[in-house]
Amino acid sequence: MKNTKYTDLIGRYLSGNIEAGEKAELMAWVGADSANKAFFDEMVRLWRVSGDYEEEPFAVNTETAWATFEEKLEKRFPAATGPAAEKGSPEARVVRMNPLRMALRYAAAAAVLLAAGYWILFPGAGSGAGMISLRTGAGEKSEVALPDGSTVLLNERSELTYAEPFEERKVTLVGEAFFQVARVDGKSFAIEAEGATTTVLGTSFNVRAYPSESKVEVSVKTGKVALRKTGDESRKVILEAGQAGAYNKQENTVGETLISNADAWKTSRLEFDSIPMSAVVEALERYFDIDIEVANPRILKCTFQGRFEKPELQQVLQTLEFTMMLEAGKQNGTYVLAGGDASLCE
């Protein structure tokens, strides 16, 4: 790799040996580019998968491992680790691996991580016998049909893992997905994602759980779901159709919240029905993968109404400028909404 600075920071972040200033620098780098974010999310995912193995570490040639590490990162994340490469997204795929071979791969990776503070990215996925893993790349979506009749639409840079045969009706999600869960003889269906567990019988809902984000968000379309901290029944919230909840990974809390247009990535539609501008801004940041700063905080309490089919950013910003008397600009990669008359919405 041409620059190992941020790989080194990620290694220290995962091992808990990173200083506050370094962490802030790393998070700024992650948020600066979608390729950086995909790279970071993958590193976190592999770190967590390695926790499934308790094998004793063994001797590893760290120089050879590091060379392999660099080669694989160059090929898999060229935008984040080396010179620009041809654009394109890998197809979502199912990977079935021999259990012993896979255990040895992750054990080797764990040994290198302990010895050198880095992580090896292997092309496979899954964490045990009969494990199925499906993954999407940047700019890619994929529909998954589960053995129980449920369907899952994976958003970009996401991964869904489950055991086969699918008797427990449990999946692990990294990233974002829309679930349509089939009812099967009263057997519950569980999604584990970033320290939160969502449990349902039969319903449709959206789950967003990217490793680089501070919250796991669940928005219910139909039916009812239970959202809780994984392993803790006392921290739980019941969500019905039209409601949303979040698990705050830093504060370790679960509760209801307002999330607008959670499934806009799936429908290619933004609908704002007299909701606070604070929720509008969050929806736009999520849909367009941008950062927005509002110069006048009072504007965030104003409400906005509008509908956009296959929205384009400039179209939405122009509408906000006209209806809210704002001026939209861009500074250092951040969109800034300046001006506005808060008295119009008091």
Q: Which of 121-135, 171-185, 194-208, 212-226 has the lowest mean pLDDT?
A: 121-135
pLDDT, position 316: 95
pLDDT bucket at 149, cuts 50 / 70 / 90: very high
**Which of the pair, 18 or 111, is modelled with greater confidence?**
18
| pLDDT value of position 199 | 95
State yes or no: pLDDT of 90 exceeds 60.
Answer: no
Residue 68's pLDDT is 52
pLDDT interval class at 111 (50, 70, 90) = very low
343 pLDDT band (50/70/90 cuts)? low
Dist. CA 63–CA 68, nearest whole Å: 9
Q: Could you tell me which of 332, 340, 342, 345 has the C-alpha nearest to residue 32?
A: 332
Are 141-259 and 264-345 equal in CATH topology? Answer: no
pLDDT of residue 54: 42
Which two structure tokens, joined as six digits, stand for 226? 């239970």
For residue 22, what pLDDT is reported? 81
Structure-token match 């790989």, residue found: 7
Q: Nearest Cα to 219, choosing from 253, 269, 179?
A: 179
- The Cα 144–Cα 151 span in angstroms is 6
- CA of residue 110 relative to chain centroid, distance: 23
**Residue 216: phi, psi to the nearest 5?**
-105, 120
pLDDT score for 330: 92
Q: Sorting pLDDT into bands at 50, 70 and 90, what band is 56?
A: very low
Is 281 a residue whose pLDDT tops 90? yes
Confidence of residue 19 (pLDDT cuts 50, 70, 90): confident
- Where are the chain's structural domains? 1-129, 141-259, 264-345
**Per this entry, what is the length of the chain?**
346
172 vs 76, which has greater pLDDT?
172
First to last CA, the chain: 55
The residues that bridge with 337 in the sheet, in sequence order, are: 294, 328
Instruction: Indicate whether 70 pLDDT > 60.
Output: no
What does the pLDDT read at residue 310?
95
What pLDDT was estimated at residue 224?
Answer: 93
* pLDDT given for residue 71 in this prediction: 55
Q: What is the DSSP letter of 83?
A: S
**Mean pLDDT throughout 10-23?**
76
Task: Identify any residues that bridge with 171 across adjacent strands, giving them in sequence order.
Answer: 162, 191
Q: By mean pLDDT, which of 34-48, 86-100, 157-171, 229-243 is the weakest?
A: 86-100
CA proximity to 141, closest of 41, 39, 266: 266
pLDDT at residue 116 is higher than 80: no
Are 158 and 135 a contacting pair, CB within 8 Å?
Answer: yes
DSSP single-letter state for residue 276: E
Residue 74's pLDDT is 55
Average pLDDT, integer, range 73-102: 43
Q: What is the pLDDT of residue 30?
A: 83
DSSP string for 203-219: -EEEEEE-TTSSEEEEE
Question: Range with the lowest mean pLDDT among 26-35, 144-153, 188-197, 259-268?
Answer: 26-35
Residue 228 backbone phi and psi in degrees, to 5? -150, 165
CATH for the 264-345 domain, from 3.55.50.30, 3.40.50.720, 1.20.140.10, 3.90.650.10:
3.55.50.30
Using only C-alpha atoms, the chain has a radius of gyration, in whole angstroms, of 21
Sign of CA dihedral 51, 53, 57, 60: negative
For residue 82, is pLDDT > 90?
no
Listed as own residue / partner, the contacts of 94-101 with beta carbons closer than 8 Å and 24 or more positions apart are: 94/132, 94/133, 94/134, 95/123, 95/124, 95/125, 95/126, 95/132, 95/133, 96/126, 96/131, 96/132, 97/124, 97/126, 97/131, 99/128, 99/129
The hierarchical CATH code for the domain 141-259 is 2.60.120.1440
Residue 339 is predicted with a pLDDT of 84
